[in-house]
Chain A
């Protein structure tokens, strides 16, 4: 699909219209002497060829956090069990009335939804889809989760592939809605909410007296040190938003703890299986985390998450 294929002549015409518009709007607010100042400024503008080149090749940067669906899959792959008591009760939805609390809990509920569905918890899946729907509606996300979605979910409740697809589409509808409506801060808050929920579930599923070096769930928790830098970059991009600023405080508290964890990784060697065409990125990682640091992390995550679901 080609979104834009514009002839230079059309663009030139638009450029002239916009330029005239800018000049007209400026002159309406100023007296005649300032009009001439504007013209002098434009006439004396030095055009730097390099600048034009740089403007033309604007670089788009994306910071991608694990989606609620990925978080749930990581948990399951690491050997996590299902424990519904860890999830945010769906009765809490009526208490979320601010944009910040609804965005955080949209992330939290969609993570709970993904977690429940991966463990084939049919009723919980429907309940958490409804809870997510309420948060999405509260945030004004139109059609992210409409009645058709709920009906499709109920009709396919025993077909995990279809359910995964519905959840994936729901998450995408929400994130793209925020992008389209220039509400990236809200999108970031949703993702951070989901990320914290994943950390909360994971840290509460680790059994006591576990060997830190041989437990997959622990390894995935430690891996969040890598994701933390992406979380910070995303928050930094939206740091003019007050809600984001408050969440940055929480993330910085987590960073202080994650800084005590050491991860060292060997050089990555890509090896491709010619038969399957799947590449394995081979590398060895060593981790170092004390029991005290783990307990501190678990407690901090619990406190932050408690504040989010209040």
Chain B
């Protein structure tokens, strides 16, 4: 019975998160995250979801030669650190923010266009807690014209 109870709790959380989270996620991405892209221009795409600690997400996108990009992984303040990696299509790691003290920003450009995968995971809170922490996580892309 206890296990059924646990399952119901999990299902309840999953059912409630999209309802209450999405509209706040947009406002968060717009007011907080966009600012961090400066001096890059936000591409305008909205890639955000409410994630709970331990959950992960992946984004597939083609990045073009000649453009300068900034990836900014924007997470709610209460969330633990967010791990993120940039992978090629063969899943070779090109960048891993664990080697950069969980930096949420990565600036890059490409010699030739590539399809890349942005893989992220919200870390679990350290120690035993009585609370499940969830929050908005937005994957933002900034663009800058190449001046070279």
Contact = CB atoms under 8 A, between A and B. Distances in A.
Interface of A: 1-8, 11-12, 14-16, 18-19, 42, 45, 47, 52, 55-70, 73-74, 76-78, 161, 164-165, 167-172, 175-176, 179-180, 216, 219-220, 223, 226-227, 229-230, 233, 265, 267-268, 270, 276-285
Contacts of B102: none
Contacts, number: 255
Contacts of B30: 169, 172, 176
B1 to A, nearest CB: 9
B13 A1 contact: no
A57 B78 CA distance: 19
B106 to A, nearest CB: 7
Q: How large is the interface on B (under 10, 10 to 19, 20 to 34, 35 or more residues)?
A: 35 or more
A19 B141 CA distance: 41
A15 B1 CA distance: 13
Interface string B39-54: 0011111111111101
Contacts of B5: 12, 15
B78 A2 contact: yes
Nearest to B44: A171
B143 A277 contact: no
Given A172-B44, A216-B66, A268-B88, 5 more contacts: A60-B56, A77-B145, A78-B66, A171-B43, A176-B26
29 contacts: A1-B32, A2-B78, A3-B20, A11-B12, A15-B8, A15-B9, A52-B6, A56-B52, A59-B55, A63-B59, A66-B62, A69-B43, A70-B44, A70-B143, A73-B143, A76-B145, A164-B41, A168-B41, A170-B44, A172-B26, A176-B26, A179-B26, A179-B46, A180-B26, A229-B115, A268-B94, A270-B94, A281-B108, A283-B112
Most chain B beta-carbon neighbours within 10 Å: one of A1, A12, A56, A279: A1
B82 interface: no
